[in-house]
């Protein structure tokens, strides 16, 4: 127990150091973007004096290290700063959008995880058969196709040709349950296809490894059916790798959601970050990027912890 605790603390400290490095990278890249935030706020007709005054008011003339130190200190204290384009607290803007992104991620997870686990387990049970080859063909195709192409195909098919679903995920304040489902359908479907493919392949590998172990062969020799051997013997021992696979696959969701929200005009956190890039709104862009990076690190940390708990070699090897 002591060794596990030490390893977990070690992984957590590594994640915090990584987050600090990421904050420096995010700040540097955000400030390397072309254009002037003050000029974007005031418009092209603004006088040089007005631009200079605004830059001074927002501290844009301070040295980069000073601005980074102020931003990081505020971030640690829970203050992400003031949006340059909206003249509102960044935390308020993010608070309005993050629930929508979390809702999209939750719908995707609830559908993708059971679907992917089922595909992976079935493919492992019938390894080498036509079922396995069909599932492998599907998963390889989905992994190879980028999200923006898949989303575009769905728009052309379901919105343009069949006219079944709206091309934009607009949800009115008085929307009904049917409106919500129609608005979420294509973004969730796009994310599920890519997410399920990666997760199913990792699950198949984890279950297949357990099915090749002697204890499963012994269970089959004693008359146990394949499905019973999988449920009672293989799956309990593959829980660690499967959780690891789910966590790693969900981390890809954070990258895919940016593209999907923009294509379907979904009012989430990712589209807010894209707007921040367009408006040169550095405080908002940096805060959104840090949220995505933090989410990714949390999921990778969960996967790492699952691997440590499930694998005694990792526990003893450090």
Angle at 262 between CA 74 and CA 142, to 5 degrees: 115
Share the mean pLDDT of the chain.
81
Asked whether residue 83 carries a pLDDT value surpassing 70, the answer given is: yes
Q: Which residues contact 100 (CB under 8 A, 6 or more apart)?
A: 266, 267, 268, 269
Is 81 part of any domain? Answer: no
Q: Is residue 40 part of a domain?
A: no
Query: What value does the mean pLDDT take over residues 103-125?
Result: 89
Quick one: pLDDT band at residue 316, thresholds 50, 70, 90? Answer: low
pLDDT for 141: 87
The SS3 assignment for 82 reads strand
Q: Cβ(212)–Cβ(135) under 8 Å?
A: no
Cβ(269)–Cβ(93) under 8 Å?
no
Asked, for residue 84, whether it belongs to a domain, the answer is no
pLDDT mean over 130-137:
92
More confident residue, 191 or 46: 191
Q: Residue 317 pLDDT more than 60?
A: no
Residues 6+ apart with CB under 8 A from 80: 74, 89, 90, 91, 94, 283, 286, 287
Mean pLDDT of 178-195: 83
- The closest of 106, 89, 23, 99 to 269, measured between CA atoms, is 99
Whether 179 is in a domain gets the answer yes
* Count of the separate structural domains present in the chain: 1
Q: Is the pLDDT of residue 104 over 70?
A: yes
Tell me: the pLDDT tens digits for 15-70?
Answer: 889 889 988 998 888 877 776 666 666 666 667 777 777 777 777 777 888 888 88
157 domain-assigned? yes
Residue 253 lies in a domain: yes
Flag the least confident range among 43-52, 65-74, 126-135, 185-194.
43-52
Please tell me the distance from the alpha carbon of residue 304 to that of residue 272, in angstroms, as a whole number.
Answer: 30
Per-residue tokens: 33: 């973007």
- pLDDT beyond 60 at 2: no
- pTM for this one? 0.76
CATH number at residue 219: 1.10.3720.10
pLDDT of 114: 92
pLDDT score, position 40: 65
Domain that holds residue 184: 97-317
Least confident of 43-57, 102-116, 201-215, 233-247: 43-57
Percent of the chain with pLDDT over 70: 88
Averaged pLDDT, 273-293: 85
Instruction: Name the band, by pLDDT with cuts 50, 70 and 90, for residue 137.
Output: very high
pLDDT of 140 strictly over 50? yes
Average pLDDT over every residue of 237-260:
77
Residue 175 above 60 pLDDT? yes
Give me the pLDDT at residue 133, please: 92
Note whether residue 13 is domain-resident: no
Task: Using a pLDDT cut of 90, give the percent of the chain over it.
Answer: 5
- Give the per-residue pLDDT at 286: 87
How far is the C-alpha of 244 from the C-alpha of 237, rounded, in Å? Answer: 13
pLDDT at 134 over 50: yes
Q: What is the mean pLDDT of residues 297-316?
A: 70
Banded pLDDT at 318 (limits 50, 70, 90) = very low
Name 191's bridge partners: none
31: in domain: no
pLDDT at 300: 79
């Amino acid at each position: 127990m002591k060794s596990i605790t030490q390893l977990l603390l070690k992984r957590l400290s590594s994640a915090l150091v990584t987050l600090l490095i990421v904050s420096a990278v995010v700040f540097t890249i955000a400030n390397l973007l072309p254009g002037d935030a003050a000029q974007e706020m005031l418009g092209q007709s603004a006088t040089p004096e007005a631009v200079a005054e605004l830059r001074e008011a927002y501290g844009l003339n301070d040295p980069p290290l000073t601005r980074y130190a102020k931003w990081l200190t505020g971030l640690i204290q829970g203050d992400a700063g003031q949006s340059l384009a909206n003249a509102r607290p960044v935390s308020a803007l993010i608070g309005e959008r993050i629930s929508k992104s979390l809702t999209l991620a939750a719908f995707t997870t609830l559908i993708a995880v059971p679907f992917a686990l089922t595909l992976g387990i079935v493919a492992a049970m019938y390894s080498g058969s036509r079922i396995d080859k069909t599932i492998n063909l599907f998963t390889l195709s989905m992994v190879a196709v980028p999200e923006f192409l898949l989303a575009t195909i769905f728009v052309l098919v379901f919105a343009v040709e069949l006219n079944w679903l709206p091309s934009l995920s607009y949800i009115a304040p008085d929307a009904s349950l049917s409106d919500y489902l129609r608005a979420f359908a294509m973004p969730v479907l796009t994310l599920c296809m890519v997410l399920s493919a990666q997760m199913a392949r990792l699950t198949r590998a984890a279950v297949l490894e357990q099915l090749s172990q002697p204890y499963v062969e012994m269970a089959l020799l004693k008359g146990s059916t394949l499905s019973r051997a999988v449920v009672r013997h293989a799956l309990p021992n593959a829980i660690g790798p499967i959780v690891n696979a789910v966590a790693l696959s969900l981390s890809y969701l954070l990258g895919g959601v940016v593209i999907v929200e923009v294509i379907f005009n979904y009012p989430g956190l990712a589209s807010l970050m894209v707007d921040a890039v367009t408006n040169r709104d550095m405080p908002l862009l940096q805060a959104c990027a840090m949220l995505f990076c933090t989410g990714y690190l949390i999921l990778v940390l969960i996967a790492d912890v699952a691997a440590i708990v499930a694998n005694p070699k990792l526990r003893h090897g450090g």
